[in-house]
Homo-oligomer: A and B are copies of this chain.
Amino acid sequence: MADDFTMSLSLTAAVVGTGFIGPVHVEGLRRAGIAVAGIVGSSAEKSRAAAERLGLPRGYASFDEVLADASVDAIHLTTPNRFHFEQAAAVLRAGKHVLCEKPLAMNSHETAELVRLAKTSGRAAGVCYNIRFYPLCLEAAERVRRGEIGEVFHLAGSYSQDWLFHPTDFNWRVLAEYGGELRAVADIGTHWLDLAQFITGRRVESVCADLGTMIPQRLRPRGGVETFSGKMQTAQATEAVRVTTEDYGCLMFRLAGSGRGVVWVSQVLAGRKNCLRFELAGSRQALSWDSEHPNELWIGHRDEPNEFLIRDPALLSSAARRHADYPGGHNEGFPDTFKQLFRSFYTYVAAGDFAAPPPFPTFADGHYEVLLCEAVLQSARERRWVDIPEVAT
Contact = CB atoms under 8 A, between A and B. Distances in A.
Given A55-B6, A329-B292, A335-B332, A153 B214 contact: yes
Contact of A274 (B54, B302, B307, B329): B329
Contacts of A291: 329, 331
Interface in A1-30: 1-10, 19-20, 23-24, 26-27, 30
Q: Most B CB atoms within 10 A — which of A52, A270, A279, A333?
A: A270
Interface string A357-387: 0000000000000000000000000011100
Nearest to A214: B153
A265 to B, nearest CB: 10
B264 A162 contact: no
A271 B301 contact: yes
A272 B158 contact: no
Nearest to A32: B55
A275 interface: yes
Given A6-B53, A270-B281, A309-B305, A332 B329 contact: no
A112 to B, nearest CB: 28
Contacts of A315: 303-305
A281 B10 CA distance: 47
A299 interface: yes
B30 A54 contact: no
A298 interface: yes
A223 to B, nearest CB: 15
B329 A161 contact: yes
A280 to B, nearest CB: 9
B312 A299 contact: no
A1 B328 CA distance: 29
A73 to B, nearest CB: 14
B292 A270 contact: no
Given A153-B248, A283-B214, A292-B329, A20 B2 contact: yes
Interface string A162-175: 11011000000000
A301 B312 CA distance: 12
Contacts of A312: 231, 273
A284 interface: yes
A178 interface: no
A262 interface: yes
Q: Most B CB atoms within 10 A — which of A260, A335, A336?
A: A335
A61 interface: no
Contact of A331 (B166, B228, B231, B333): B333
Contacts of A158: 156, 279
Given A31-B31, A153-B247, A325-B335, 16 more contacts: A8-B52, A24-B326, A153-B266, A154-B264, A208-B210, A231-B314, A271-B306, A292-B329, A295-B333, A303-B314, A305-B307, A306-B309, A306-B310, A326-B333, A330-B333, A331-B331
- 3 smallest beta-carbon distances between A and B, as pairs: A271-B300, A274-B329, A8-B55
6 contacts: A6-B26, A24-B326, A153-B269, A208-B210, A266-B281, A273-B330
